Amino acid sequence: MSHQLWGGRFAAPTAEDMRQFNDSFRFDQRLAAADITGSIAWAGALADAGLITGEERDRLVQGLNQVQLEFAEERFVPQPGDEDIHTAVERRLGELVGSLAGKLHTGRSRNDQVATDMRLFCLHAAQTLQMRLMQLQHALLDQAEQHAATLMPGYTHLQRAQPITFGHWCLAYVEMLERDRMRLEDATRRIRVLPLGSGALAGNSLGIDRTALTAALSSPDRYPFFDDITTNSLDAVSDRDFVAELLFDCALIGVHLSRLAEDLVLYSSSEFGFIELADEYSTGSSLMPQKKNPDSMELLRGKSGRLIGNLVTLLTVLKGTPLAYNKDMQEDKEPFFDSFDTLDLGLRVAAAAVATLQANPERMVAALDAAMLATDLADELVRRGVPFREAHGKVGRLVRRALELRVGLHQLPLEEYRAVQPDLDETAYALFDFAQSVARKAGVGGTAPERVKEQVLAWRERGR
143 counts as binding ligand ARG under rule CB under 6 A? no
The answer to the question of residue 236 lying near ligand ARG (CB under 6 A) is no
3-class state of residue 161 by DSSP: strand
Element (H, E) at 333: helix 333-356
User: Which residue type, as a one-letter code, is found at position 327?
Assistant: K
Residue 239 within binding range of ligand ARG, rule CB under 6 A? no
Mask 54-93, x = binds ligand ARG (CB under 6 A)? ------------------------------x---------
How many Cβ atoms from other residues are within 10 Å of residue 90's Cβ? 21
The minimum distance between CB 196 and ligand ARG, in angstroms, equals: 13
Site for ligand ARG in 366-395 (CB under 6 A): none
Active-site entry in 157, 205, 270, 286? 157
Residue span binding ligand ARG (CB under 6 A) among the ranges 208-216, 244-252, 326-334, 384-392: 326-334
Binding flag, residue 318, ligand ARG (CB under 6 A): no
Cβ contacts of 203 within 8 Å, gap of 6 or more: 197, 233
Chain residues 417-446 in contact with ligand ARG, contact rule CB under 6 A: none
State which of residues 46, 47, 114, 428 lies at the interface with ligand ARG (CB under 6 A): 114
Is residue 71 a contact partner of residue 36, using CB atoms and an 8 Å limit? yes
**Beta carbon nearer to ligand ARG, 314 or 372:** 314
According to CB under 6 A, which one of 57, 108, 110, 168 is a site residue for ligand ARG? 110
71 vs 325 by CB, closer to ligand ARG: 325
Of the candidates 259, 249, 242, the one whose C-alpha atom is nearest the C-alpha of residue 308 is: 249
Site for ligand ARG (CB under 6 A): how many residues?
10
Backbone angles phi, psi at 359, to 5 degrees: -80, 150
Let me know the angle formed at the C-alpha of 179 by 178 and 185, rounded to the nearest 5 degrees.
90
Smaller CB distance to ligand ARG: residue 114 or 275? 114
Residue 48: closest CA among 226, 228, 208, 229 = 208
Residue span binding ligand ARG (CB under 6 A) among the ranges 169-177, 325-333, 339-347, 446-454: 325-333
Closer to ligand ARG by Cβ: residue 226 or 325:
325
CA 19, distance to chain mean position in Å, is 35
CA separation for the pair 226, 232 (Å, rounded):
17
How many other β-carbons are positioned within 10 Å of the β-carbon of residue 356? 14
Specify whether 168 is catalytic.
Answer: no
Task: Give the orientation angle of helix 295-318 with respect to helix 333-356, to 10 degrees.
Answer: 160
How is the chain split among helix, strand and coil, in percent rounded to 5? Answer: 65, 5, 30
Beta strands in 192-296 (DSSP E): 193-194, 228-229, 275-276
Nearer to ligand ARG (CB atom), residue 165 or residue 198: 198
Asked if residue 24 binds ligand ARG (CB under 6 A), the reply is yes
- As a whole number of angstroms, the distance between CA 203 and CA 233 comes to 5
Q: How far is the CB of 448 from ligand ARG (least distance, A)?
A: 54
Catalytic site includes residue 392: no
Q: Does 108 bind ligand ARG (CB under 6 A)?
A: no
Q: Could you say which of 219, 330, 356, 375 contacts ligand ARG (CB under 6 A)?
A: 330
Among residues 329, 381, 402, 424, the one that binds ligand ARG under rule CB under 6 A: 329
Residues at the contact surface with ligand ARG, assessed by CB under 6 A = 24, 28, 84, 110-111, 114, 325, 327, 329-330
Catalytic sites, residue numbers = 157, 285
